[in-house]
Amino acid sequence: MPWIQNYTPIAGSLGMSALVAAVPLVVIFVCLAVVRMKAHLAGLLAVASAFAIAVTVWGMPAPLAGLAFGQGAAFGLFPVFYIVLTTLFLYNITVKGGQFEIIRASLAGLTADRRIQALLIAFCFGAFIEGAAGFGTPVAIAGATLVGLGFRPLYAAGVCLVANTAPVAFGAIGIPIVALSAVMGYDDVGLMNLSKAVGHQLPFLSVIIPFYVIVMMVGFKKAMEVMPAILVCGITFALTQFATASYLGPYLPDITASLAAMIVGWLLARYAFEFAWAPSPWVPLAGAAAGAVLALAAGWWGLREILRRPVLETLRRAGAV
């Protein structure tokens, strides 16, 4: 049953149509945050509102809307729910077996500096959990680890939420990229191109986020004292994320980048020098140089992809012809 979606069904206005399309999101937020309804009931109400809007406002045939609901439910149940369930199962095993306490004690023994603890746990360890599970588990697990080290619960959750900005696009074994590729009808080549496109943009944010997290915690002056650790973790994470997304695909960028950042951050904190470190005028130059190298690498990759295509195809994709 063919059906072409109209993106502006409300008086031809994109803004009004977007507001109507946002109704299911408003429903679930109000049910959870205001009414304090149970999550499964709030989800059912949001689904019902989305179904009603799709059929009545967008004119989607009811059988197709039902099939879309079934496909979305199956996708959420098997890849998404299965990933989260197994990760929480593994986490509970480590807690019950005492291994989680060993991890916490090892991190606490590495450094007493709250800034480095936040960098290694909220950013690096949180990114690893995001890559393996996603869907809120990084904030829960990494936040619990920070609380175990003496952070206030709400403060730890806020730090982990901000730090989770960098890896979220490739979270849960690349589920956001894989889901978008499926919605767009891409094959394996299209999936890889989508992974490259995201991997060429996200590393710039990945360099900034660690510094932003520490500044948010202690201010600019105190953040400059641990700038070597921030630069090392951020640049290592960004470069590894860029390389993995460009050459291996969307499944492993968070895992490889977080492991690389954790290793170099641990080596720096363990063997290089004691924090704190006095600000130096060379630090901004070093950061700018690292960003320039990353920008040149990303730009060259994009230019190479363009040069590979025929000129007419490039112009057609740009809308010039």
pLDDT digits (tens, 9 = 90+) for 153-201: 888 888 888 888 888 888 877 888 888 887 778 888 888 888 888 888 8
pLDDT at 277: 40
Average pLDDT over residues 261-282: 62
- What b/e readout covers 154-166, taking b as 16+ CB neighbours within 10 angstroms? eebbbbbbbbbbb
**Is the Cα dihedral 251, 196, 257, 161 positive or negative?**
negative
Per-residue model confidence as pLDDT tens digits over 243-262: 998 888 888 888 888 888 88
Tell me: cis bond preceding 276? Omega within 30 of 0 counts.
Answer: yes
Q: Which residues contact 302 (CB under 8 A, 6 or more apart)?
A: 200
Element (H, E) at 242: helix 227-247
pLDDT at 272: 60
pLDDT at 53: 93
Q: Which of 23-27, 213-217, 301-305 has the lowest mean pLDDT?
A: 301-305
Per-residue model confidence as pLDDT tens digits over 33-61: 888 888 889 889 999 999 999 999 998 89
pLDDT at 45: 93
**% residues pLDDT > 90 (the chain):** 9
**Is the Cα dihedral 154, 135, 255, 237 positive or negative?**
negative
Average pLDDT over residues 71-87: 75
Helices 81-97 and 99-110, axial angle in degrees (round to 10): 80
Assess whether pLDDT exceeds 50 at residue 219: yes
Q: Which residue has the tokens 């700018």?
A: 288
Per-residue model confidence as pLDDT tens digits over 108-126: 667 777 888 888 888 888 8
Q: How many residues does the chain have?
A: 321
C-alpha to C-alpha distances, 149 to 153, 164, 209, nearest whole angstrom: 11, 19, 22
Q: Which residues contact 250 (CB under 8 A, 6 or more apart)?
A: 170, 174, 177, 178, 191, 194, 195, 198
Confidence of residue 26 (pLDDT cuts 50, 70, 90): very high
Average pLDDT over residues 66-91: 77
Average pLDDT over residues 125-130: 85
pLDDT at 136: 73
pLDDT at 163: 86
Assess whether pLDDT exceeds 90 at residue 279: no
pLDDT at 299: 47
pLDDT at 4: 81
Mean of per-residue pLDDT scores for the chain: 77
